Every structure is written in structure tokens, then in C-alpha cells.
Amino acid sequence: MKVHVDPNSGFCFGVVFAIMMAEEELEKSGLLYCLGDIVHNNREVERLASKGLIIINHDELKNIKNSKVLIRAHGEPPETYKIALENNLELLDASCPVVLKLQNRIRIGAEEMQKKNGQIVIYGKEGHAEVNGLVGQISGNAIIVNNESDLDKIDYSKPVRFYSQTTQPTEGFKEMIDGITERFKKSGNLQPDFIPYNTICSQVSHKEPRLKKFAKEHDVVIFVSGRKSSNGLFLYNLCLSINPKTYFISEKSELKKEWFENAESAGVCGATSTPMWLMEEVAEEINKMK
């Protein structure tokens, strides 16, 4: 049986940058606070914790003074920077430039909507770190939608500017646009002031067709991801829709030998939050099962 690791899987550039910043600081000082999990992968978090990375939440941030704190790729609301100034914290800001650009676009859109009595709508996961950062840019004045029933939150008599969390699926974003357009028609508003902006990261959107092809090419697919990763869950289900012999694991100990019976090839892939070293570790373990 041949075992292949998907070369297109693994960390996006934003996560790579955040981890690089963390490792550089940890080599110098051996201690660094990080606001939230640096990446939604428990094995990578554990690896960095062994080097001195301490994960904190927003409540804990308020009680830390005169220290260095890493801002991860997801970005943060303005309130976080205010607390940092008050507590004399040095921020190592690894906010992804794609996320920062989206934050700015939402601020500009909110100014326009305020003049027009309109609405900012964001396609994303409520409570997700990136979404919290986006909503925080405009003092919480946004509508979060994640499925068709959420579209009922929108007032279809008013203008809408529609954005997406950078890691959302492109098909889902298109479905949301179609749903909003249809609801405008049903409301009688036949010439709505509705502008959707595709703000999904190109690294994420390009990964979907490549992953479909990868899943089709193998008898068995092992999808490696942290269970907290929403991107991981989506991409796993994408693989599963192509190849029913797709299995979700977080580490090599979860592998089962019977999955590979009569298989000639196995593919190992993962989320944007899955480290390449972990996928290679899984592939090595599969090779031992032959």
C-alpha cells in the first residue's frame, strides 16, 4: 500500500507567521503569553507549551501587566489593544493581513451603512475568534449568519453589505448570497441595495478543489485535524462526500488497522491548522501497519 501526504494541506501562511513569531520569542525568553489557542490543533499547542507558550483568555489578559502577549492570526477587536496599552503589554501582533484587510473593509462598510440606515451581515461562526474581532471593529453592530435560517435576522427593507469570515466555504457563501437575494424578492424589494463582498482567503478557497481531487485519488483518506477547528470539520466532510472511506483523527494513536484492508493507496491530509509534521507522523504510523 502506498501512503501519500497531501502537499497542499497544512498551515496557511498566517498560521506559519504566528508560530514563527512565537518560536523566535520563546527561544530568546522562554516565556510568552498567547491570547487564545495559537492554532486549533492540540498537538501543536502542546508542542509550543513545552517551549514556554502560555495560553490565556480575554479575562486573564486584563490581569497581566508588563509582559509580552502574542496576537494570533485570527485578529482582535480594538478593546484588546486598549487593554494592552493600559497594562503596559508589548503585543507581538501576528494578525493575518487578509483578516486585517477584512476588518478595515467592514469598518468602511459600517460607516456607509450608518448613513443609509443599513446593515452589516457577516457569514461566519458566531463566537469564533476571527468573527469576534470583525464584529468588535464596529461595536457589535453586525448580523452573523451561518445557515439559511439565520437569514431571517436580516431586515430586507434596508440596505445590506455582506462579508464572509476568511475561512468559510465558498459554496456556503454563494448559497447565502442566493438566499439573501431570494428573500429580497419575496419581501417585494425588487431593487435592493445589496452588495456582497467575497472576503474568503484564496488559500482556503483554492484548497477545496485540490482536496476533492486528492480524496478521489486514494482508496482510504485519513483526515488529520484538531477537533476545535471549524475549517477542519468542513474539509473533512468535503473529503467524505468524495470518498466514503475518509476517517477523522487528531493523532496517530486513533488509527485503526482495519481501515486499510484491501487498500492499495492511503492519503493523509488535514486542515489549515494541521502541522505538516503531524501528518507525516500519521503517514509513518500507517506504513508500520502494512
The residues assigned a catalytic role are 130
Please give the order of strands across the beta sheet that includes 2-5. 2-5, 265-270, 220-224, 246-249
Q: Given the C-alpha cell 486528492, which residue does it identify?
A: 214
CA distance 67 to 31: 9
Helix axes 97-116, 13-29, angle to 10 degrees: 120
- For 54, left (φ over 0), alpha (ψ -120 to 50), or beta? beta
CA distance 144 to 163: 10
Distances (CA, A) of 73 to 59, 205, 281: 19, 18, 25
CA distance 134 to 87: 23
